[in-house]
């Protein structure tokens, strides 16, 4: 079945350093969504990318969707302690009403 993989699984950075997580799908995606889950919390929708090669920014966060629509990345510039959490990408299964989530990248930050 369709798989969505994320790397790295864990990332520990010093506050102020940059952070990037990568997402790869085994199939072409019609869109990709990104979510953030704080420790002890629930996933919160961040953004959706639809177009090939699309780049979107939210303050210090930059999201990219690959040209082949099979990969995506999230880059955080100058991390802050509020960025701590697990970042998930998710893509829809073709022909089915469901989302497949990656296993997430857990970000921890040393203040």
Q: How far is the CB of 21 from other proteins (least distance, A)?
A: 12
Q: Is 13 in contact with 107 (CB distance < 8 Å)?
A: yes
What is the Cα–Cα distance from 68 to 32, expressed in whole angstroms? 12
Residue 101 tokens read as: 């989530």
Q: What are the E-state strand segments in 8-77? A: 10-14, 19-25, 32-37, 44-49, 55-58, 61-65, 71-76
**The only residue of 52, 80, 103, 110 in contact with other proteins, by rule CB under 8 A:** 103
Site for other proteins in 24-53 (CB under 8 A): 30-31, 33, 35, 41-45, 48, 50
Nearer to other proteins, 80 or 94 (CB): 94
Interacting residues with other proteins (CB under 8 A): 1, 4, 30-31, 33, 35, 41-45, 48, 50, 88, 90, 92-93, 96-104
């Amino acid at each position: 079945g369709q798989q969505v993989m994320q790397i790295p699984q864990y990332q520990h950075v010093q506050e102020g350093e940059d952070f990037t997580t990568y997402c790869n799908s085994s199939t072409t995606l019609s869109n990709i969504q990104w979510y953030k889950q704080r420790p002890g919390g629930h996933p919160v929708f961040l953004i959706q990318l639809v177009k090939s090669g699309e780049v979107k920014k939210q303050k210090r966060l930059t999201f990219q969707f690959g040209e082949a629509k099979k990969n995506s990345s999230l880059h955080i510039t100058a991390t802050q302690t509020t960025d701590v959490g697990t970042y998930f990408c998710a893509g829809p299964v073709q022909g089915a009403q469901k989302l497949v989530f990656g296993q997430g990248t857990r970000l921890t930050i040393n203040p």
